[in-house]
Amino acid sequence: MSLTTAPATAPTDDASATEPQRPRRAPRIGQSFAMFRNGKSLAGLAILGVFVVVAVLAPLIAPYDPLEKDFMALRQPPSAAHWLGTTHMGEDVFSQIVYGTRGVLVVGFLAGVLATLVAVIVGVVAGYVAGWRSESLSALTNVFLVIPGLPLIIIVASQYEDPPLMLIAGVLAITGWAWGARVLRAQTMSLRNRDFVQAAKANGEKLWRIIAVEMLPNLTAIIASSFVGTVTAAVLGLTTLAFIGVIPITNLNWGTILFWAQQNGAFPDYWWWYIPAGLCIALLGMALSLVNFGIDEYVNPRLRSAGERARAARRKGLQVDGGVTEVRTVSGTGDDARAG
Amino acid sequence: MTTLEFRNVTKRYKVRGAGDMLALDDVSFSLESGQTIALVGQSGSGKSTIAKILTQLERATTGEVLLDGKPIPHRGPGLRRYRQRVRMVFQDPFASLNPYHTIRHHLERPLRLDKVVPKDQVESEVMALLERVRLDPSATVDRRPHELSGGQRQRVAIARALASRPELLIADEPVSMLDVSIRLGVLNLLADLQRESNLGVLYITHDLATARHFSDRIMVLHHGVVVERGDADGVILDPQHEYTRALRDASPDPDRHFAGPAGTASLRS
């Protein structure tokens, strides 16, 4: 066998190796979550889990009320009393970050759920129907794809004295669903003509059942990745809005912390005020991206990094650096020869 | 006795920017229960279009499809009744089963949709169907398609088609995607089932040898036109049309050596 085929076969071998351990009964749930069962996704989900726990248990974790002012301790560097120092008003930065996690996650996930819902409905319907209906839904998607999100939100938010979180999440969803809908439409179009969908049709299944039961389960990986993508975009959107001061200070999140830090000349001396908030945003973004990378690799094993493939090939006893046309010698064990 | 009749059916596909494509040109034939007709032709000759029109996944441009002398309905409960009586086995067993669902799901759906048996008997009916297509019911029922071999999948697909207890079965190249060594097994299964339930079978294929083995009558389709029809042996042994002759001579025959003039005949004519 030539070495050129080694990288392509390695991932499939890995996948089939894990299969027999799967329980035969109740395989549906197992299969739905299979896309998260890899290092990258698990690492991302773990970080995400920590943030969720922090958001839920904020009152237990935070040592102070986030808006409690201590005028005896202004702009204090980190100490035992204030782990991440204090602001210009003597507020505890650590408590603000802990409470700020709530706003970020609530808006992020709310926007993600709303946007995914719209993307699935528009994308799958546009992919399933044909003709002018598909074209017009596709045109609608394209329009929303080019609507600049931030300016729209600034305009909408400026109509309100105190825009509710729901509204912010809604606007972030409106500007964020289009990409997912496009990807879903393309995938649905390819599913629509598969024989198993035709067979369901010929069996007399109703349209909604064909879409919901026969097609949607085959789209779960794409839906999940589009959900994670919109959550990331919504988190970044929210913190940006808070940072530029569109969202009022009553809504505490990491962006608000950065806003106050910037307003009060924290850069660059009072590093404890802005670096932790910035790191949290980066960490959450990284966690969500890791989950997405994991899903992508589950869908398309060829996306696994070249180094990983090379390691997998080496484990099988293949010489990765060898010439392309070189033929593997079978002087080793017979097992190896068959495994390739 | 059920009779399905294809009467003067023409099908045109609109091709964007290239005018129309005539897939079927005035095709007529009839299929009765208990009878097997082989529809033979090369790729693009219109075989699958006939299958799609028969299952009403496509509609004829002109002409009629009649079941027991009545035109088949295009929608509503009438169409469902028709689809329950005329079922199809798809060509590619790797594509015709939903990779996400278990074999149980594939067999349960038609049973529930057409209310073939009372709800509490669905489970035992699923097992009986698997038994009928010679699969081990308990070992198969909770598996997913990717855990089965091609031949096993095609047997599941056949079981699914039989679930609604149809009177006529359309088999669109049911063995062309299977390993040569297991084709005969699947074809013999189809033949047995056909005898057991007095099914009418339209066997669509490009393989003259299996067509002769399996069917009573053969119809040869060429560029959307039926160029020859007759009983199986007659068509194979004494082909009248030039295309049928080319088709016959192109199929490998262990008794014939490719030296004589017959062996050099080609499809280019």
Measured between CA atoms, how close is A192 to chain B, in angstroms? 12
* Selected residue with higher pLDDT from A246 and A11: A246
pLDDT of residue A108: 92
pLDDT tops 80 at residue A324: no
Domain range enclosing A184: 34-304
Q: B97: pLDDT confidence band, cut at 50, 70 and 90? A: very high
> What CATH number should be reported for the domain holding residue A47?
1.10.3720.10
- Nearest residue in chain A measured CA to CA from B158: A199
The pLDDT mean for chain A works out to 80
- A2 part of a folded domain: no
pTM for this one?
Answer: 0.74
- A7 part of a folded domain: no
Measured between CA atoms, how close is B243 to chain A, in angstroms? 30
- A328 part of a folded domain: no
Measured between CA atoms, how close is A128 to chain B, in angstroms? 14
- A325 part of a folded domain: no
Cβ pairs A/B, distance under 8 A: 58
* Mean pLDDT, residues B145-157: 91
Cβ <8 Å between A203 and B83: yes
* Mean pLDDT, residues B54-83: 88
Set of chain B residues whose Cβ sits within 8 Å of the Cβ of A198: 57, 90, 96
pLDDT tops 70 at residue A214: yes
- The two beta strands, B20-32 and B217-222, are unpaired
Give the best residue of A32, A198, A203 to mutate against chain B (max B CB count within 10 A).
A203
pLDDT tops 80 at residue A28: no
Do A285 and A277 touch, CB atoms closer than 8 A? no
- Nearest residue in chain A measured CA to CA from B90: A195
Set of chain A residues whose Cβ sits within 8 Å of the Cβ of B98: 196, 200, 214, 217-218
Q: A9: pLDDT confidence band, cut at 50, 70 and 90? A: very low
Cβ <8 Å between B142 and A201: no
Give the best residue of A24, A187, A195, A215 to mutate against chain B (max B CB count within 10 A).
A195
pLDDT tops 60 at residue A308: yes
Percent of chain A past pLDDT 70, that is, above it, reads 78
* Selected residue with higher pLDDT from B76 and B251: B76
pLDDT of residue A137: 93
Measured between CA atoms, how close is A143 to chain B, in angstroms? 26
- What DSSP assignment string belongs to A105-135? HHHHHHHHHHHHHHHHHHHHHHHHS-THHHH
Least trusted range by pLDDT, from A117-121, A199-203, B104-108, B155-159 = A199-203
Q: B14: pLDDT confidence band, cut at 50, 70 and 90? A: confident
* Selected residue with higher pLDDT from A18 and A26: A26
Set of chain B residues whose Cβ sits within 8 Å of the Cβ of A196: 95-99
Query: How deeply is B146 buried, as exposed, middle or buried, from its count of CB atoms within 10 A (0-12, 13-18, 19+)?
Result: exposed
pLDDT tops 60 at residue A325: no
| Tens digit of each residue's pLDDT (9 = 90 or more) over A254-307 | 888 888 888 887 778 888 888 999 999 999 999 999 998 888 887 766 666 666
- Nearest residue in chain A measured CA to CA from B55: A202
* Mean pLDDT, residues A9-14: 39
pLDDT of residue B218: 92
Least trusted range by pLDDT, from A26-30, A62-66, A247-251 = A26-30
pLDDT of residue A182: 93
Least trusted range by pLDDT, from A135-139, A233-237, B100-104, B252-256 = B252-256
3-state secondary structure of A145: helix
Cβ <8 Å between A200 and B95: no
Q: For B121-257, where are the E strands, in sequence order?
A: 168-172, 200-205, 217-222, 225-231
Q: A310: pLDDT confidence band, cut at 50, 70 and 90? A: low
Set of chain B residues whose Cβ sits within 8 Å of the Cβ of A212: none
pLDDT tops 70 at residue B267: no
d(CA B106, CA B164): 12
pLDDT tops 60 at residue A340: no
d(CA B269, CA B264): 12
- Nearest residue in chain A measured CA to CA from B139: A24
pLDDT of residue A283: 93
Q: A67: pLDDT confidence band, cut at 50, 70 and 90? A: confident
ipTM for this prediction: 0.84
Set of chain A residues whose Cβ sits within 8 Å of the Cβ of B55: 202
Cβ <8 Å between A195 and B98: no
Give the best residue of B109, B112, B140, B158 to mutate against chain A (max A CB count within 10 A).
B109
pLDDT of residue A32: 66
pLDDT of residue A8: 39
Number of domains in chain A: 1
pLDDT of residue A313: 67
- What DSSP assignment string belongs to A148-202? -HHHHHHHHHTT-SS--HHHHHHHHHHHHSHHHHHHHHHHHHHHHTSHHHHHHHH
- Nearest residue in chain A measured CA to CA from B82: A204
d(CA A40, CA A37): 9
Query: Edge-to-edge, what's the strand order for the sheet holding B20-32?
Result: B20-32, B3-14, B62-67, B70-71
pLDDT tops 60 at residue B157: yes
Do A12 and A301 touch, CB atoms closer than 8 A? yes
d(CA A146, CA A176): 10
pLDDT tops 80 at residue B13: yes
Cβ <8 Å between B79 and A195: no
- A111 part of a folded domain: yes
- A177 part of a folded domain: yes
- Nearest residue in chain B measured CA to CA from A205: B113
| Tens digit of each residue's pLDDT (9 = 90 or more) over A128-146 | 888 899 999 999 999 999 9
| Tens digit of each residue's pLDDT (9 = 90 or more) over A47-60 | 999 999 999 998 88
d(CA B4, CA B64): 11
- A70 part of a folded domain: yes
Query: Edge-to-edge, what's the strand order for the sheet holding B86-89?
Result: B86-89, B168-172, B200-205, B36-40, B217-222, B225-231
Q: How many Cβ atoms sit within 10 Å of the Cβ of residue B68?
A: 12
3-state secondary structure of B149: coil
Do A87 and A93 touch, CB atoms closer than 8 A? yes
pLDDT of residue A117: 95
pLDDT tops 60 at residue A12: no
d(CA B163, CA B36): 20
pLDDT of residue A333: 46
Measured between CA atoms, how close is A147 to chain B, in angstroms? 32
Measured between CA atoms, how close is A200 to chain B, in angstroms? 9
| Tens digit of each residue's pLDDT (9 = 90 or more) over A149-177 | 788 888 887 888 777 888 888 988 998 89
Cβ <8 Å between A200 and B98: yes
| Tens digit of each residue's pLDDT (9 = 90 or more) over B168-209 | 999 999 988 888 888 888 999 999 999 988 999 999 998 888
Do B169 and B144 touch, CB atoms closer than 8 A? no
3-state secondary structure of B73: coil
Q: For each of the domains in chain B, give its residue range(s) and CATH number, in order of start.
A: 3-97+167-250 (3.40.50.300)
Set of chain A residues whose Cβ sits within 8 Å of the Cβ of B157: 199
SS3 readout for A191-229: HHCCHHHHHHHHCCCCHHHHHHHHHHHHHHHHHHHHHHH
Nearest one of A252, A262, A269, A235 to A92, comparing CA atoms: A252
| Tens digit of each residue's pLDDT (9 = 90 or more) over B48-68 | 899 989 988 888 899 989 999
Set of chain A residues whose Cβ sits within 8 Å of the Cβ of B173: none
- A3 part of a folded domain: no
